[in-house]
Amino acid sequence: MELYNLIRLYSDNFIPVFIRVSVMLSFIPFIGAKMTPVIMRIGLALSITLLVLPVIEIKSENLVKAIYEGIFMGIAMGLSARIIITAIEIASQWINLQLGLGMASVFNPLVGESLGPMTFFYTLLGMMLFFLLDMHHHFLEGIIRSFQVTQVRYETIFHGIIEHNKIMFPLAFKIAAPILLVQMIINIAMGLISKVMPQANIFFVAVPLNIFLGLLFILITIPIMFAVTARYFINIKEALQVITR
């Protein structure tokens, strides 16, 4: 009954806010994953909507325009987080190829398809770091600030997302660089050994050694991955400020 009264009290603002929150959550790591039940996502979106309704004010009196702005702003804010997670997935795919684990695919519930085991591992690390850094709090703040915008600057927001997207491949390379360097050194060493000892079957030694040293250096470089990714997560704050300016 209390939920019904709250919705009726803020009925004019409920639909635009709920749409904006729902669209944004669909891009947030883990929350927007396909493995997350739909009823849970709807319930979370409804809870956040009811939480922020008393402190926001819809600037547009046109409901259709408010819904359109809500969809656009929700996508823009959600993409700012999705870009970081995508960079982590790209780096892990490179690592999978170098370790020879491309055939050992597992089901990744975040994207609903089969990916390499390192992709699944790095994606979980990225999502854990996302919540450890309290990035979800910044998105809640961003939702409230987005309704304080008197006029949505579509061109500025679109340009800001494009600029934010430029960090994807540099971040992916920085995460994967230590592992790629180690694998390159191993391959060069195995090549030299095969030239010196052509009668030896280097393949049976190189494959397990490649995987073992690769996994070892992955464990060693996890703190580096956390430090590098944490600095890039700070860019999400700047992206949200551009969107809600």
In this model, does residue 114 exceed pLDDT 70?
Answer: no
| Residues facing 113 on adjacent strands | 108
Structure tokens belonging to residue 164 = 């934010």
113 pLDDT band, cuts 50/70/90, is: low
Q: What is the pLDDT of residues 23-68, one digit of tens each?
A: 888 877 677 766 677 788 888 888 888 887 777 776 666 777 777 8
Q: What is the pLDDT of residues 165-192, one digit of tens each?
A: 788 888 888 888 888 888 888 878 877 8
- In the chain, where the domains are located: 2-243
Contact 102, 115 (CB under 8 A): no
Listed residue (120, 129, 128, 123) closest to 87, CA to CA: 123
In this model, does residue 124 exceed pLDDT 70?
Answer: yes
Report the C-alpha gap between 229 and 219 in whole angstroms: 16
Question: Does the pTM of the predicted model rise above 0.85?
Answer: no
DSSP character for 149? Answer: -
